Structure 1
Amino acid sequence: MDYPLLNLFLTMLWFFLWTAWLILVFRMISDIFRSHDLSGWAKTGWLLCVLVLPFIGVFVYLIVRGRTMGERDMREVEARDAAFRAHVREASRGSANGGAGELAQLAELRRTGELTDQEYQRAKTKFLAS
């Protein structure tokens, strides 16, 4: 008997499993190259294990270094986030020298008492006129 629907289902299942396997292998390879705690020889050894003996190599890598994969990913995400936040802070400081940032600086100087009300009004009028 021929079951075309079952064959279609099995074909889709194998295709999904093959795609998932390839994603896992590429994830392992990228983790090997991003690891700063591995020497060049260790990276070469893990890479050979994953490529030459794919099933055994991937499973052994997951057992030995699987827990630290997530930790490395979290550190990388935190580093990217910190770099992004630093960039935003620098960009906002640069734009604070003009526009609303300068008015905010004048208001802060007046609030702390470094500028009198007359000086604040003159600086504000001068700024708004330009």
Structure 2
Amino acid sequence: MPEFWSNVGSIFWYTLTIIIFVSYLMVLFNIVIDVFRDRELNGGVRAVWVIALIFFPVITALIYLIVRGRGMGQRAAVQAERNKAAADEYIRSVAGSPADEIARAKALLDAGTISNEEYSRLKAKALA
């Protein structure tokens, strides 16, 4: 029975260690992403942050989060808005308007490809 409890304790500590390590990696990756996302930083400052993260990762991460942590959320929100706007613009460009759908259906009707009933169904579908 004592072996069981020592194994449970080991599993608990290994699990806790893995969770902390993965959290640490996520913080480092988010800091690197934020360094390159910030358009106000010049190349030299970016290089200093990255080199400091490589040689003194824990201290640099803590300093970065204290000094620039508030801006990280703001920059992430701005980037999310840009991505959403780009996706919306792409969807609008691909989807077309109801007038475009009706014009295509009219061209198919004029070419004799579809019948009047099919044209009215496509027109009703585009206007719905």
TM over 0.5: yes
Q: Which structure is larger by alpha-carbon Rg, 1 or 2?
A: 1
Using the TM superposition, name which of 4-13 and 55-64 deviates more: 4-13
- Please name the residue that 2:110 is paired with: none
How many residue pairs are counted as aligned between the two chains? Answer: 108
C-alpha displacement of 1:90 = 2.2
- Please name the residue that 2:123 is paired with: none
* Selected match of 2:36 from 33, 36, 53: 33
* Selected match of 1:61 from 39, 59, 64: 64
Q: What is the correspondence of 1:1-130 to structure 2 with a 5 Å cutoff?
A: 3-93=6-96, 96-99=99-102, 128=119
Contact 1:95–1:101 (CA under 8 A) maintained in structure 2: no
TM-score computed with the length of structure 1 as normaliser:
0.71
1: CA distance between counterparts of 2:104 and 2:81?
Answer: 29
Contact 1:49–1:57 (CA under 8 A) maintained in structure 2: yes
* AA aligned opposite 2:21: W
2: CA distance between counterparts of 1:61 and 1:33?
Answer: 13
- Where does the alignment leave 5 or more consecutive residues of structure 1 unmatched? 104-124
2: CA distance between counterparts of 1:20 and 1:93?
Answer: 44
> Deviations 1:42-94 (Å, cap 9, x if unpaired)?
00011111111011000000011110011111001101111111222222336
C-alpha displacement of 1:27 = 1.2
- Where does the alignment leave 5 or more consecutive residues of structure 2 unmatched? 107-115, 121-128
Structure scoring higher RCO (CA < 8 A, sep ≥ 6) equals 2
C-alpha displacement of 1:95 = 6.5
Identity %: 26
Contact 2:105–2:119 (CA under 8 A) maintained in structure 1: no
* AA aligned opposite 1:49: A
RMSD: 2.8
TM-score computed with the length of structure 2 as normaliser:
0.72
